[in-house]
């Protein structure tokens, strides 16, 4: 899968394919979403890709959040409806890849609209293979003291907040 592309991802499909989360006994979806997003921040920097995660929500979560290299939307009535809308707006866009395990409703629709589609499992496996000749963004920082290209002070501040948070919040859903 090429880099420098935008990946439109069904967030819960990917969350259920992430072994480090499915082995966790936590039923707290908010905590699991945050853990997934933190993991994806590093992986997206390693791959130089843009990720757009879409999560279903039925409660009062903010509609959108931004993280370094990642945009997150909380969609009502469903992530599938949001993703289908994005596919419709981006027909025949060769720089868009849709990531969902839903072959029937999302995969077939993406292909019909000329947009690449892969399963969440395929994406997770690809994302976790270290690119040849590339040092992970976090390892690069530890070894050289320099941040990855495009890294800003806001990104540093976000990471400091994200990793210093105690997960006291209860999932409101």
Three-state DSSP string of 98-158: EECCCHHHHHHHHHHCCCEEECHHHHHHHHCCCCCCCCCHHHHHHHHCCCCCCCCHHHHHH
Q: What is the mean pLDDT of the chain?
A: 79
- Residues 6 or more apart whose Cβ sits within 8 Å of residue 160: none
Q: Per-residue pLDDT for 142 more than 50?
A: no
Q: Per-residue pLDDT for 131 more than 70?
A: no
| Domains recognised in the chain with CATH numbers | 6-164 (3.40.50)
For residue 7, what are the β-bridge partners?
A: 51, 97
pTM: predicted TM-score of the whole model, two decimal places: 0.71
Please check whether residue 140 is in contact with residue 4, taking contact to mean a CB–CB distance below 8 angstroms: no
In this predicted model, which residue has the larger pLDDT, 65 or 97? 97
Identify the CA nearest to 1 among candidates 48, 37, 66, 60. 48
- For every residue of 36-76, DSSP letters joined together read HHHHHHHHHHHHT-EEEEEEE-SS---SEEEETTEEEEEES
Of 16-20, 31-35, 51-55, 166-170, least confident by mean pLDDT is: 166-170
- Residues 6 or more apart whose Cβ sits within 8 Å of residue 18: 36, 39, 124
Average confidence (pLDDT) over 90-112 = 95
């Amino acid at each position: 899968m090429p880099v420098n592309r935008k990946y439109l991802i069904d967030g819960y499909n990917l969350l259920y394919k992430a072994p480090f989360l499915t082995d966790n006994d936590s039923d707290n979806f908010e905590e699991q979403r945050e853990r997934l997003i933190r993991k994806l921040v590093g992986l997206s920097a390693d791959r130089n890709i843009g990720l757009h995660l879409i999560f279903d929500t039925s409660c009062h979560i903010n509609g959108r959040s931004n993280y370094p290299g990642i945009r997150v939307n909380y969609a009502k009535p469903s992530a599938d409806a949001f993703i289908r809308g994005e596919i419709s707006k981006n027909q025949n866009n060769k720089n868009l890849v849709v990531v969902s395990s839903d072959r029937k409703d999302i995969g077939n629709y993406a292909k019909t609209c000329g947009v690449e589609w892969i399963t969440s499992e395929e994406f997770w496996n690809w994302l976790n293979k270290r690119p040849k000749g590339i040092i992970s963004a976090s390892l690069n920082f530890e070894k050289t003291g320099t941040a990855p290209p495009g890294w800003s002070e806001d990104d540093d501040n976000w990471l400091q907040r994200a990793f210093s948070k105690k997960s006291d919040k209860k999932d409101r859903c």
